[in-house]
Amino acid sequence: MTLMTLLQPFHMMAERLGLTLPDIELAQPEEMPSPQRDLLVHHGDMTLRLQDHYRLPIHLDTLKVMQDGDVLYRKVLLRLSDGRIVEFGVIRIFLDVFPDEVRRLVEACYFPLGGLLHRYQIGHHSSLQGFVTCFSDGILERILGLGATTRLYGRLNRLLTDDDRCIAEVMEILPPKAVDPESFEMDRDTLGAGS
């Protein structure tokens, strides 16, 4: 599979959310620094992996959301309970796979998807599509509170039900370290919050 083919659904998601992705390249796990490699290279949920690594609960900060029937698009930050930002994500969620109660919670955009899957014991597995790297652009620098252009690492993942129905497709980008939101000015209008 070519990089262009691999990235096509993520570019489409970003476009739906009013975001232009920076130039993205494939990355090999051995090229990644720690802790990004340890946090990205696994077949589990990022929410639980981040929570275990930082030993704090993970919360969802939805920057932008759009719904088209049974498909929900979200541009999000995952942050620790102390406020530090640990992930930027673009995700497409297929709502028709959820029981009604869980669907309502997913649509409410208050909780990370991985946490809901775990909490409601929805059987699933990851189908990693690849690891990526990019240099931050102005938008990612503001979102992640970076002081300068920085090489970032992430992964492309599909979450599947036990019977291989797609729950979600997600691009997860990590900052080099957990970022204190007090260390930068987040312009929520620029980032597309509240849409």
- What's the pLDDT score for residue 192? 46
Q: Say if 71 falls within a structural domain.
A: yes
Q: Where residue 182 falls among pLDDT bands split at 50, 70, 90?
A: low
Q: Say if 47 falls within a structural domain.
A: yes
Q: Say if 190 falls within a structural domain.
A: no
- Is the pTM here over 0.75, yes or no? yes
Count up the domains in the chain and report the number: 1
Q: Say if 176 falls within a structural domain.
A: yes
Residues in contact with 22: Cβ distance below 8 Å, sequence separation at least 6, in sequence order: 134, 135, 136, 137, 140
Q: Say if 38 falls within a structural domain.
A: yes
Three-state DSSP class for 142? helix
Instruction: Give residue-wise pLDDT tens across range 92-121.
Output: 999 999 999 999 999 999 999 999 999 999
More confident residue, 12 or 180: 12
- What's the pLDDT score for residue 11? 85
Q: How many CA atoms lie within 13 A of 122 on its CB side?
A: 24
Mean pLDDT of the chain: 88
Q: Say if 148 falls within a structural domain.
A: yes
Count of CB atoms situated within 10 Å of the CB of 59:
17
Q: Say if 153 falls within a structural domain.
A: yes
Q: What is the CATH number of the domain that holds 79?
A: 3.40.1410.10
Q: What percent of the chain shows pLDDT beyond 90?
A: 67
More confident residue, 19 or 121: 121
Mean pLDDT value of segment 138-161: 90
Instruction: Give residue-wise pLDDT tens across range 57-82.
Output: 999 999 999 999 999 999 999 999 99
What is the extent of the structural domain holding 116?
28-180
Q: Say if 3 falls within a structural domain.
A: no
Alpha carbon separation from 21 to 11, 14, 153 (Å, rounded): 7, 7, 13
